[in-house]
A and B are shown apart, each in its own frame.
Chain A
C-alpha cells in the first residue's frame, strides 16, 4: 500500500467553525489531490497540488482552501464549515508521470451539524 495517512479519520463539527484535514505521504510524490465522495456523485476533485506551494482548483473548490508547504503534507481547510460539506474526504497521490496511478488514502468522514 502507498504510504498515505489522513487525519483525523472522523470529525464532527458545527456549522461556521473552521476545519483542517491533513494528508501525509511518505512516497515523495509530486502530485497530491483532495476529493470528496458523496452518494451518486462518485469522487469529485476539490483541489490539487503539483509541487510545494503550487496548487490549483478542481471541480468543486468553492468553500475550500489548501496549502502545501512541504512535499509530504497537503492540508485542506474549510474556513467556515457548512452542512453541505458533510462528506467523506479522500487524499490521493501520484508521481506525476502521465501513466502513473493515483493512490488513495483511507479517507476522513466529516459531519457538519
Chain B
C-alpha cells in the first residue's frame, strides 16, 4: 500500500519569507508526484507534477518542488511568500499509469503581514 505523509499540519510564515512544505511517501517504485493547493472554500488546483527526468520541477505561482529518491520525498518550496499564498497544500502520489491519487493530510499555511 502507498501512503503519503505531510508532517506539518500548520505552518506560519511571514510575508516575504521563504516557505518549504514537506512530503514523504512510501511506495516501492517511484510514483508520479503532485502538489495541489486549495484556497478556502475552493476546489483543488494543481501547482506542479513530477513524472520523470529533472528532479527539480517548476510550477505555477512561483513554486518549485524537488524529488529526492533516496529520501522518498517531494518537498515544495517558494523563495518569497505572498499573502495570497495562504491556503492548504496537499501532496499526492499515483502509481505509474494508475490514475488513482493518494493524498497526504495537508499542510495549512498562514501568512503573517
Contact = CB atoms under 8 A, between A and B. Distances in A.
A42 B103 contact: yes
Nearest to B108: A39
Interface string A54-92: 000011000000000000000000000000000000100
Interface residues of B, number: 26
Contact of B106 (A42, A58, A90): A42
A49 to B, nearest CB: 11
21 contacts: A41-B105, A42-B90, A42-B106, A43-B92, A45-B100, A48-B100, A96-B99, A98-B97, A98-B98, A98-B99, A99-B32, A99-B51, A101-B46, A101-B49, A102-B99, A104-B44, A104-B45, A105-B43, A106-B42, A107-B42, A107-B43
Interface string B32-59: 1010100000111110010100000000
A94 interface: yes
A44 B103 CA distance: 7
Contacts of B4: 42
A41 to B, nearest CB: 6
B9 A42 contact: no
A31 B99 contact: yes
B17 interface: no
Q: How large is the interface on A (under 10, 10 to 19, 20 to 34, 35 or more residues)?
A: 20 to 34
Given A94-B99, A96-B99, A98-B97, A104 B43 contact: yes
B96 to A, nearest CB: 6
The 3 lowest CB-CB distance pairs between A and B, nearest first, are A42-B103, A98-B97, A104-B43
A106 B43 contact: yes
A107 B46 CA distance: 15
Contacts of B103: 42-44
A98 B100 contact: no
Interface in B89-112: 90, 92, 96-106
Nearest to B106: A42
Given A42-B6, A43-B103, A103-B46, 20 more contacts: A31-B99, A40-B9, A41-B105, A42-B106, A43-B44, A43-B101, A45-B102, A48-B99, A48-B100, A50-B99, A58-B100, A90-B44, A98-B32, A98-B96, A99-B32, A101-B49, A102-B46, A102-B101, A104-B44, A107-B43
